[in-house]
Amino acid sequence: LPSIEFNNVSFSYKTKTATVKILDGVSFRVEPGKSVALVGPTGAGKSTVFRLLCRFYDVDDGEVLVENQNIKNITQLSLRQAIGVVPQDTVLFNDTIAYNIGFGKREATDEELIDAARRAQILPFIESSPDGFLTLVGERGLRLSGGEKQRVAIARTLLKNPPILILDEATSALDSLTEKKIQQSLNEVSKGRTTLIIAHRLSTIIHCDEILVLKNGIIAERGTHNQLLSIQ
C-alpha cells in the first residue's frame, strides 16, 4: 500500500482581487494502510488538502508525495485510479443502482456488484429486475437519503478497490442508528487502504490512527482521539 506525505506544503487561492493563503507549511504523513483524520473549523482548508492530493490544484511550496514519489511526476490518470473518494454528498446518475455502483468499473460482474452492495449495506434497497439489472426496490427511484447515497458511493469504492481512500464524513445530523450503520460501512471501506478522513466533528471519528487539527493554515494540534479529548 502507498504512503501519503505532505511536506511543508503552502497553498493560496488566487482570485483577480486577492490572494488568500489557506495552507502555510503543512506537514504530515499517512503510513501505508493507516488512517489520518483532518478536523478544524469550516474554511480551515480540509477540502483543499484533498484537492491538492488529487492534483485539482498544485502546491505553491513544498511537496505532496504518494508512495514517496512527488505527485507532479505521477500521471493524472494513475493518480485518479489510485484514489477513491467517498464524498459527503454523492451525486447519482439517473440510472440503475448497478450503473451507479459500477461506474468506473464497467467490466464488473453481477456477483461483484452484489457483493459490493452487500458490504456497503445497500443491498436491501436493490433487487434484480427480469432483464438482470440491479434496480431500486419500490417506487422511490433514485430519491435516496443522504446516508443511502453515501452507501452507493461506498459500494462504488469497494468495487473500484483503490489503495488510497479519501473519506468526506457527512455533516448532516443523522439519527444515531443510521450513523452507526454508516460508520460500519465507512470502517469496512477504509480497511486495507491508506485513508485520509475529512472529519467535521471530533465525536464521530474513532477509528483512525491520528487526528490533525487544521487551524489558521497550520496543523495546530495532532494526536490520537484520546490525547485530543484529554486536552479539551
Q: Which residue has the cell 479519501?
A: 166
Q: How far is the CB of 177 from ligand ADP (least distance, A)?
A: 26
Taking CB under 6 A as the rule, does residue 3 contact ligand ADP? no
Contacts of 105 (CB under 8 A, 6+ apart): 159, 160
φ/ψ of residue 36, rounded to 5: -125, 135
Contact code string over 152-191 relative to ligand ADP, x by CB under 6 A:
----------------------------------------
Contact code string over 5-44 relative to ligand ADP, x by CB under 6 A:
--------x-x----x-x-----------------x-xxx
- Of positions 25, 33, 62, 104, contacts ligand ADP by CB under 6 A: 104
Taking CB under 6 A as the rule, does residue 75 contact ligand ADP? no
Q: How far is the CB of 1 from ligand ADP (least distance, A)?
A: 18
Taking CB under 6 A as the rule, does residue 45 contact ligand ADP? yes
The 3-state secondary structure of 17-73 reads CCEEEEEEEEEEEECCCCEEEEECCCCCCHHHHHHHHCCCCCCCEEEEEECCEEHHH
Q: How far is the CB of 139 from ligand ADP (least distance, A)?
A: 27
- Of positions 25, 33, 62, 87, contacts ligand ADP by CB under 6 A: 87
Beta-carbon neighbour count of residue 9 at 10 Å? Answer: 22
Cβ-count burial of 205 within 10 angstroms (0-12 exposed, 13-18 middle, 19+ buried)?
buried
Q: How far is the CB of 81 from ligand ADP (least distance, A)?
A: 8
Q: How far is the CB of 80 from ligand ADP (least distance, A)?
A: 5
Can you read off the three cell numbers belonging to residue 32?
Answer: 501505508
Closer residue to ligand ADP in complex, CB, 100/124: 100
Q: Which residue has the cell 503552502?
A: 10
Q: What is the CA radius of gyration of the chain?
A: 18
The HSE-up count of residue 191 (CA atoms within 13 Å, CB side) is 10
- Amino acid residing at 181: K
Taking CB under 6 A as the rule, does residue 215 contact ligand ADP? no
Site stretch for ligand ADP (CB under 6 A), options 3-11, 50-58, 123-131, 215-223: 50-58
Taking CB under 6 A as the rule, does residue 47 contact ligand ADP? yes
Q: What is the DSSP string of 87-101?
A: -SSPPPPSS-HHHHH
Q: Which residues bind ligand ADP (CB under 6 A)?
A: 13, 15, 20, 22, 40, 42-48, 51, 54, 56, 80, 85, 87, 104
